[in-house]
Structure 1
Amino acid sequence: MLAAHLAVVGLGLIGGSVARALRAAGVVGRISGYDPDPRQREDALAAGVIDTAHSSAAACVREADLVIVAVPVLRTVEALSAIRDALRPGTIVTDVGSTKQSVATDVEQVFGELPPWFVLGHPIAGTEKSGVSNSLADLFRKHRVILTPHRCQDAVALSTVRRLWEACGARVVEMAPAQHDLIFAATSHLPHVLAYSFVDMIGKLDDSAGIFPNAGGGFRDFTRIASSSPQMWHDIVRANAAAVSDLLTRQIADLQALQDMITSGRWDEMKATFERARAAREHYLTQIE
């Protein structure tokens, strides 16, 4: 058993799904939970996602030997400050934040260092839905989880968190925090910015009322992630602003180049761009595990 008492701070889609997955795997005992939203606490308790609900984060983690902090990245300092004095010696703490350099900085701010028992993590799974009522026991199955060990990392803590995610059916890989943030700025954070921006642009057109009802599958596929939580993605982009901004600058330049091809009738160049992009996607799809 990984933990006799698991505490989950943040009972949203990810926090709820981790609790469900670990319970289903039989690797944890009692599960306590906290969320600042009473409705999430009530729903988690009623659905059997947790065994006990607490009205404070400190009470939730007080007797735990493994803590998962599953809060929006901009709430990390608040959450860690709330649990800091309630953690007992030997407790392992991990997070699920979509940015890792910002979380590492927040951990240092709260604890004065990067504690050996804190493991920085990020599950690469989710849906456009939110809340514990949408949590799934198999959300992480066959998905990657990134762990970013730091300079003070305790090997036992790292191994425990690795086994936690493997019990959820995930494939665990390790990389440096900076590498993580660059990769996910390109593959997740910027795509969300583009999807939100595109739908916002269409919504402001004079004939938008006629566009949306006639949209086909391509529109739905491209814009699906624009149904994700605006607050969550605001927080993620803000926490990884430098990497996202750099890539957005590059994207704007490439879009301007495409516009120039269209206005000047350089159709062969445009086709070559499309062909290059298609070939790159087909090539890299074979590398996704």
Structure 2
Amino acid sequence: MAGSSQDKLFIPRLAVIGVGLIGGSLALALKQAGAVGEVVGIGRGLANLETALRLGVIDRIESDTVAGVADADLVFLATPVLSLAAVAARVLPAMKPGAILTDGGSVKGAVIEAIAPLVPAGIHFVPGHPIAGTEKSGAEAAFPTLYQGRRCILTPTAATDPDALDLVRRVWEVAGSEVVVMGVEKHDRVLAAISHLPHMVAYALVNAVGAYDRYQENILEYSAGGFRDFTRIASSDPTMWRDIAVTNREALLEMIEQFETHLAELKEDIRRSDAERLYEFFLRSKQSRDAIL
């Protein structure tokens, strides 16, 4: 296994499957830290891989997934959630003994359920999720400081090798993240609240305003800073968020219902012109928001 708990982290060969914002930024962070030898970029989009190569995100393009992971010490899956299991099924039999497979999927329960049974003896699986991102995608969006000051959650299974877990922890620490080890169910419910629900609300808000037809013109053209800032995440990759909504369905529905309760409360206060209750509602929200800054 690459590196050890006593040595400076060094991964001789890293294979990144899905060289976009998440996978590309990890590669750049490890390169900048001198913690990786060769980075192999694997993906279906040749133009994106060629861009990644030109920008120095990766060192080599490999169109054959199996060949790309054959000699890798660490394989990072950075593809949409619904594709992770299929990609893992292809690469796991081709990985060398002692190699580690990890991922950056925003949903962990469904991913672990699908991948864990596929892991052969001698290969280590460490599920993970870096909580970082922007609304941009592709190799051009990658930058080495994406993970600085952010959190990365690891959700090891009962079969996860402790040394493999330690190495993946160190990978994310070198990238600048605070690493938290968490149970799978807690991860999916926490992320449904702090990440998945806000994206659903942003998408719904843009669609609601865009569909407003009292006037012939598109009133979205009048949107200013507040609307644009609030809905920035609605520019995120639709494929990624479709997959998240499907795979974290129960936790996300729970949070949408929670949101609907509070929105209904606000709607009723507005309907009744209840200035005192409106003030209390806004104040409670402001205090909660200010407390996390």
Instruction: Look up the match of 1:120.
Output: 127
Aligned equivalent of 1:164, options 171, 175, 189: 171
Matches of 2:129 and 2:43, distance apart in 1: 19
Displacement of 1:203: 0.5
Matches within 5 A, 1:194-209: 194-206=201-213, 207=215, 209=217
Whether contact under 8 Å (1:116, 1:153) holds in the other structure is no
Matches of 2:55 and 2:184, distance apart in 1: 35
Instruction: Look up the match of 2:226.
Output: 218
Aligned residues: CA RMSD = 1.6
Do residues 82 (structure 1) and 70 (structure 2) align? no
Instruction: Look up the match of 1:129.
Output: 136
Q: Deviations over 1:22-63 (max 9, x none)?
A: 111111111111011111221112222111111121111001
Whether contact under 8 Å (1:143, 1:171) holds in the other structure is yes
Instruction: Look up the match of 1:238.
Output: 246
Matches of 1:125 and 1:263, distance apart in 2: 38
Instruction: Look up the match of 1:48.
Output: 56
Instruction: Look up the match of 1:143.
Output: 150
Between the aligned residues of both structures, percent identity stands at 42
Matches of 1:143 and 1:241, distance apart in 2: 25
Q: 1:179 to 1:208 in 2, by over 3 A?
A: farther
Do residues 20 (structure 1) and 53 (structure 2) align? no
Give the residue type in structure 2 aligned to 1:60: G
Give the residue type in structure 2 aligned to 1:143: R
Displacement of 1:109: 4.3
Unaligned 5+ runs, structure 1:
none
Aligned equivalent of 1:187, options 194, 216, 221: 194
Instruction: Look up the match of 1:258.
Output: 266
| Partner-residue secondary structure (3-state), 2:148 | coil
TM-score (norm 2): 0.92
Give the residue type in structure 1 aligned to 2:245: V
Matches of 1:192 and 1:198, distance apart in 2: 10
Whether contact under 8 Å (1:91, 1:117) holds in the other structure is yes
TM-score (norm 1): 0.94
Matches within 5 A, 1:34-45: 34-45=42-53
Whether contact under 8 Å (2:101, 2:123) holds in the other structure is no
Q: 1:208 to 1:186 in 2, by over 3 A?
A: farther
Give the residue type in structure 1 aligned to 2:154: L
Do residues 94 (structure 1) and 102 (structure 2) align? yes
Instruction: Look up the match of 2:236.
Output: 228
- Structure 1 stretch 253-262 or stretch 11-20: which is displaced more? 253-262
Matches of 2:262 and 2:84, distance apart in 1: 35
Displacement of 1:2: 2.5
Matches of 2:191 and 2:233, distance apart in 1: 15
Instruction: Look up the match of 1:248.
Output: 256
| Partner-residue secondary structure (3-state), 1:194 | helix
Matches of 2:72 and 2:126, distance apart in 1: 16
Matches of 2:95 and 2:218, distance apart in 1: 56
